Amino acid sequence: MKHLWILVKGLAMGAADVVPGVSGGTVAYITGIYQRLLDAIHGIGPKGFKALQSEGIPGLWRAVDGPFLLALGSGIALSILSLSKLVLWGLDTYPQAVWGLFFGLIVGSLPMITKNLPKGLPLGLFPFWSIGIAFGVGLSLLSPSEASLTLPYVFMSGALAICAMILPGISGSFILVLLGVYEGILTALHDRDLPIVLTFMAGAGLGLLSFARLLRWLFARYPNAMVSTMAGFIVGSLTKIWPLQASLTQASNALPTPWVFVSMAIGLVIVRTLQRLTKTSNPG
């Protein structure tokens, strides 16, 4: 029964990871398994290798908290595979509404990301905000709306996206949107395109064992600078998903503008609800 509950939490994390704007790390934090997840990921490195040498496979399984990772990973995978078709249908049928929802989710997540920063904007943090905004705007303007899914690019995308997926507040799917591979990866998952899917998973595995550890160290050592840079990056990147872009407003199935703003408001309400749940689950 305990592992079934972990599976359910994995389903919730997978649903969050499919949607740009909500982080699976946020769901893990809300449901009380975030630290256990970090500890399990940490066990995959040198700690797990030592356990494998001294105790064999059973030792490795214990070091990485195998039952927990298996149940959680199964839930995440099942949720992503189930929802990919729905998201693709929405992007094809009502793109403005879906992008409006994503926009609201991402804007709504900013207070959650910056809640521990000093009030106001201290001058010492201004350069980090500026760097983040400049990088976000630059990436939004330079990257194509849909990049070519070459295997090296898919591998790199997986490595970068997994770093965001395990951090509370920033969405790995949002990184995929900025890289221009979001719809392509969802389509590959839905179509069971194994070369693309396995390459993406391999990149995610590398990112989990390398870049994600570096990010974790940086956030622990320089939290305000890293959060400011990340928040600025998100603000600068919003131009990428603005739902009233000409390419969307001129489409044959374009929605009236008021309905687009309704979808944004729904996204804001969803994130606000998650924020309240976070406070309830972690009152300290």
pLDDT at 127 over 50: yes
* Locus of tokens 């940490």: 42
Q: What is the pLDDT of residue 196?
A: 93
When pLDDT is cut at 50, 70 and 90, the band that residue 266 belongs to is very high
Please report the sign of the dihedral spanned by the C-alpha atoms of residue 119, residue 102, residue 266, residue 16: negative
pLDDT tens for 129-151 read: 899 899 888 877 776 666 678 89
Give the mean pLDDT of the chain: 82
Please give the Cα distance from 140 to 172 (Å, whole number): 16
Residue boundaries of the structural domains of the chain: 84-281
User: In the chain, what is the straight-line distance between the N-terminal and C-terminal CA atoms, in Å?
Assistant: 29
When pLDDT is cut at 50, 70 and 90, the band that residue 74 belongs to is very high
Give DSSP secondary structure letters for 96-154: HHHHHHHHHHHHHHHHHHHTTSPSS--GGGHHHHHHHHHHHHHHHHHS-SS----HHHH
Please give the Cα distance from 49 to 57 (Å, whole number): 10
pLDDT tens for 197-218 read: 999 999 988 888 777 677 767 8
Q: What is the pLDDT of residue 264?
A: 93
H-only helix segments in the chain: 2-18, 24-30, 34-42, 46-63, 66-93, 95-114, 126-142, 151-165, 172-179, 182-190, 194-209, 211-221, 223-237, 246-249, 257-281
pLDDT at 282 over 60: no
pLDDT tens for 16-69 read: 788 776 677 777 877 778 778 878 887 777 777 888 788 888 888 888 888 999
Q: What is the pLDDT of residue 197?
A: 92
- Comparing 280 with 137, the larger pLDDT belongs to 137
pLDDT at 121 over 50: yes
pTM: 0.74
When pLDDT is cut at 50, 70 and 90, the band that residue 284 belongs to is very low
Q: Which region holds residue 21: left if phi is over 0, alpha if psi is between -120 and 50, else beta? A: left
pLDDT at 154 over 90: yes
Instruction: Take residue 172 and report the two structure tokens written for it.
Output: 């790995």
How many whole angstroms from its chain centre is CA 278?
17
Please give the Cα distance from 157 to 185 (Å, whole number): 10
Side chain identity at residue 39, one-letter code? D
CA-closest candidate to residue 156, choices 181, 137, 136? 181
What torsion do the CA atoms of 207, 213, 216, 220 make, to the nearest 10 degrees?
Answer: -160
φ/ψ of residue 193, rounded to 5: -80, 90
Neighbours of 252 (CB within 10 A): 4
pLDDT at 271 over 90: no
Please give the Cα distance from 167 to 82 (Å, whole number): 23
Q: What angle do CA 184, 190, 195 make, to 5 degrees?
A: 65
Please give the Cα distance from 99 to 90 (Å, whole number): 9
Please give the Cα distance from 59 to 154 (Å, whole number): 33
Q: What is the mean pLDDT of residues 82-91?
A: 85
φ/ψ of residue 275, rounded to 5: -65, -40
Q: What is the pLDDT of residue 115?
A: 77
Q: Contact at 8 Å (CB) between 175 and 164? A: yes
Angle between helices 172-179 and 2-18 (to 10 degrees): 30
